[in-house]
Amino acid sequence: MEYAVMKNSVKGLLVLGSGSKEEIFEGHYIGAELKEPVSGEIVFNTSMTGYQEILTDPSYAGQIIAFTSAHIGNTGVNPEDVESKKIYARGVVLAEYCETPSHFRSNATLDEFLKKNNVSGLYGVDTRALTLYLRERGVVPGHFTTEKFHQEKRIPKAFAENHDWIMEVSTKEPYWVKAQNPKYKVVAYDYGVKGQLLRELQMRGCDVLVVPADYPAEKVLQTIKQEKMQGVFLSNGPGDPSVATYAIKCVKELLGKTPIFGVCMGHQILSLALGAKTYKLKYGHRGGNQPVKNLAKSSVEISSHNHGYAVDAKTLPNTAKTSHVNLNDECCEGIDVPSMNAFSVQYHPESSPGPHDSSYLFDRFIDSFAR
């Protein structure tokens, strides 16, 4: 298939694997000039909308995102739809790029946004073939390069599988996010928190104290007592949850002492703190169209996901029960720990830009304050 090419666009390569097992996808670059090959874990996202929110989700740190949606860039970018202060993904792969966006809120093109964040993108790629490759073989490390770099065998050093991405994206100092009409106060552990998660708590009257991922549990409990706070929120974040031993230790010390609600990485950290185990999925769940069954209500939610690891439900202690399951592969999508007033879900209930089937979970968190 042929794609429209921008004027003065530079040819580029996406290389998966190495040596005799190399798989090469060709395209053209947008965004920042590629001065050296850039490596990352190649993953695909099946969302039809929300590319700006996806690119600024800190959970994509260390990864190159391939969008399965055929056209990206149509609505440009705007200052309102960012989820963090910058793009944390290491690159983006597109089928067809729209260089002339049309939307009343747009103030820049995706190309300009990538350049501003010093991130490269490759378009004109057969993303359908790429997705099939990843679906069959699983996520793999890869890198952006040029024909010249490839011939010179200039290959970037890949990050180790057990690299701690959380501490690279977490805040370094605590800060407050205030509600207009405050009714409650909560602590939020920042493992790579999305802005919309904090806004959902704000909209429900929560003043939120955002703390670093390794913030000691003792300090959190002191703050909860001094500030008369109601609960602890565990955010989303990137990478392997088992590497974050500091976060697991903190949550273990908080269990049973305050209401806890975890999302995505927060779900995995909570489960590990309970003694469960996690494992890496073949190609992860990334997209805004994942069907999840709420076992208590016997209802189905269409939900937004971005994770490469999952909780092994068979290793959960008797105090915890599976509350949600994925209808595609039946993996654990949520747990409930009634005796400790804690619960979590693997997916994103804030779902920016959507769907919004699961926003009731924030209300459940508020209700847990009265227990």
Catalytic amino acids?
Answer: 264, 348, 350
Q: Please state the separation of Cα 324 from the chain's center in Å.
A: 19
Cα separation, 140 vs 155, in Å, equals: 15
Q: Is 280 within 8 Å of 298 (Cβ atoms)?
A: no
Reduced to 3 states, what is the DSSP secondary structure of residue 289? strand
Q: What is the dihedral of CA 140, 141, 144, 146, to 10 degrees?
A: -90
Q: Is 369 within 8 Å of 231 (Cβ atoms)?
A: yes
Using alpha carbons, select from 364, 355, 200 the residue that is nearest to residue 296: 364
Cα separation, 121 vs 112, in Å, equals: 11
Amino acid letter for position 192: G
Q: Please state the separation of Cα 87 from the chain's center in Å.
A: 12
Strand positions, DSSP E, the chain: 11-16, 23-31, 38-45, 63-67, 71-72, 91-93, 96-97, 120-123, 140-145, 175-177, 184-190, 206-212, 231-234, 260-263, 277-294, 299-312, 321-326, 332-337, 342-345
Q: Is 47 within 8 Å of 54 (Cβ atoms)?
A: yes
| DSSP bridge pairs for 343 | 261, 336
Reduced to 3 states, what is the DSSP secondary structure of residue 141? strand
Cα separation, 303 vs 290, in Å, equals: 5
Provide the 10 A C-beta neighbour count for residue 256: 13
Phi, psi of 8 (to 5 degrees): 65, 20
